[in-house]
Amino acid sequence: MKSQHTFALSFYLKRENEVNGKAPIYAKITVDGKYLRLAVKRSVEPKFWNQRTQRLLGNTPEIILLREKLRQMTNEINGAYDELRYQKKMITAQAIKSKVEGEDDGKTLLYLIKYHYEHQGALLAKGTIKNYYSTERFLKEFLKKKKLSDIQLASLDFQFIAEFAVYLRKKEPDKSQRPCTNNTVMKHLERLQKLMGIARKFGWITVDPFINHQRHIIKKDRECLDMDEVSALWSLEIENDQIMLVKEMFLFSCYTGLSYNEISRLTGDYIRREADGSLWIEMVRQKTLNTSELKFHVPLLPESLGLIEKYEHSTASLSRGTIFATPSNQYMNRCLKIIARLARINKHLTFHIARHTFATTITLENGVSIESVAHMLGHSNTRTTQIYSKVKKKKVANEMNMVKLKLHPVIRKVV
């Protein structure tokens, strides 16, 4: 449908407000001959501005960021105009300005976070929600540093994201906190990006501020135990019953791949007996509640079955209604430091290492396909499994020896 309105957008410097050699940039929104000014909230030295072409000159990092800001604002203003047309609302310069600034519906970053908790939080596992709480805390600290109590979603741009990332990297950790590594920063940005994706779907923003953002995850070798270290844990005698429980829960995870969350809620209801008499664990990964495709099955090996039989009828387990009377994850990780020292394992032992051990030492190194390992770990594809597992030199050597025997059968005869 042809618009009955005239609409124009231009940018200019307000030189009379120049401070320290820089003049603020304004957008001029004109509808049907009536215009309003909208502050870009950025300033530039006049020598870097060509008013005739309304373009920035130069390629310094500051100019590149500023050019990106103008591009985003152009998209936001044009998007606001198109949205008003689509919704058949009255189109005025003020209406466009209000929509760009988020004033027409009051949608702000903290409103978005609250909405996410109330409407989608119930679909997320407790651990995932806990991570969102951490991101929210850092965002509030960052806003406070910028002397803001909140920010309109429409004002959240690429520069906000870049400055938030710098803030996380430079932030001095509070007591009991660890510094934000590169991958931790990327995880916080990933959660913010998912929130902005919700805002985009609901039409609360017209342009995704992450459109030109690229996350850079540093791939790390995931630590796991080798078979000698697993054997050292089996043979380690511990007088303290609680620390012994932690050790044997860790070993149970080594032989089943279950995470701390899954072991802590494991009951007899999750154990199934097949027609051949074998026992299997059948559960659903609790990343989200929409996880019908993430059901997994793990056969119980004699080692893991023995641990179930040892603990399932204990007083503490019966009281809790679970097979293991699981301590807190923090307590278990503290105990694992003691256990590692006693077993003379020179690795930083955490409970999640058991899951890596299952993926690598117990399964892949013994010829289990990565597709089967992915299913037992509750992964929807093998790419996630490849993060948990690493192909060791021993596995490569065993497989190449098989190739050698096939290519040179005479070797087998000689041997």
pLDDT of residue 105: 59
State the CATH number of the domain containing residue 357.
1.10.443.10
| Residue 150 included in any domain | yes
If you average pLDDT over residues 284-289, what whole number do you get? Answer: 64
Please tell me whether residues 69 and 123 are part of one structural domain. no
pLDDT of residue 150: 85
Percent of the chain with pLDDT over 90: 48
Q: Which domain does 129 fall in, by range?
A: 109-201
Pick the range with the lowest mean pLDDT from 45-59, 304-318, 398-412.
398-412
Given 51, 74, 101, the domain boundary residue is 101
Query: Residue 2: pLDDT band by 50, 70, 90 thresholds?
Result: very low
116 has pLDDT over 60: yes
Query: Residue 1: pLDDT band by 50, 70, 90 thresholds?
Result: very low
Please tell me whether residues 85 and 132 are part of one structural domain. no
Given 85, 101, 117, the domain boundary residue is 101
Please tell me whether residues 169 and 282 are part of one structural domain. no
| Residue 406 included in any domain | no
Amino acid at 2: K
| 50 compared with 3, residue with greater pLDDT | 50
Q: Quick one: tokens of 352?
A: 């999640």
If you average pLDDT over residues 88-96, what whole number do you get? Answer: 79
Please tell me whether residues 243 and 333 are part of one structural domain. yes
Number of domains in the chain: 3
Please tell me whether residues 263 and 378 are part of one structural domain. yes
224 has pLDDT over 50: yes
Please tell me whether residues 135 and 196 are part of one structural domain. yes
pLDDT of residue 263: 93
Q: In this structure, are residues 368 and 377 in contact, taking their beta carbons and an 8 Å threshold? A: no
| Residue 206 included in any domain | no
Closest CA relative to residue 355, chosen from 245, 254, 283, 250: 254
| Residue 2 included in any domain | no
Given 201, 235, 253, the domain boundary residue is 201
Q: What is the largest CA-CA distance in the chain?
A: 95
Measured at the alpha carbon of residue 135, what is the angle toward residues 174 and 133, in degrees to the nearest 5?
90
Please tell me whether residues 241 and 385 are part of one structural domain. yes
Q: Is the pTM of this model over 0.75?
A: no
pLDDT of residue 292: 45
Q: Whole-angstrom Cα distance, residue 366 to residue 359?
A: 10
Please tell me whether residues 196 and 244 are part of one structural domain. no
pLDDT of residue 286: 67
Taking residue 396's Cβ as centre, other Cβ atoms within 10 Å add up to 10
Cα distances from 240 to residues 124, 303, 395, in angstroms, run: 36, 21, 37
If you average pLDDT over residues 240-261, what whole number do you get? Answer: 94
Please tell me whether residues 34 and 156 are part of one structural domain. no
The gap between the terminal CA atoms of the chain, to the nearest Å, is 84
73 has pLDDT over 60: yes
| Residue 218 included in any domain | no
Please tell me whether residues 14 and 88 are part of one structural domain. yes
| Residue 295 included in any domain | yes
CA dihedral 381, 383, 387, 390 (to 10 degrees): 100
218 has pLDDT over 90: no
- Could you read off the pLDDT of 140-172 as tens digits, one per residue? 999 999 888 888 887 788 889 999 999 999 988
| Residue 127 included in any domain | yes
Closest CA relative to residue 328, chosen from 258, 228, 260: 260
Please tell me whether residues 356 and 255 are part of one structural domain. yes
Cα distances from 368 to residues 6, 168, 280, 372, in angstroms, run: 67, 41, 17, 7
Please tell me whether residues 125 and 97 are part of one structural domain. no
Quote the DSSP letter at residue 363: I
| Residue 410 included in any domain | no
Instruction: Indicate the pairing of strand 34-44 with strand 49-50.
Output: unpaired
Q: Which residue has the tokens 């466009």?
A: 96
Taking residue 157's Cβ as centre, other Cβ atoms within 10 Å add up to 21
Query: Residue 415: pLDDT band by 50, 70, 90 thresholds?
Result: very low
Cα distances from 238 to residues 298, 314, 371, in angstroms, run: 28, 18, 37
If you average pLDDT over residues 182-193, what whole number do you get? Answer: 92
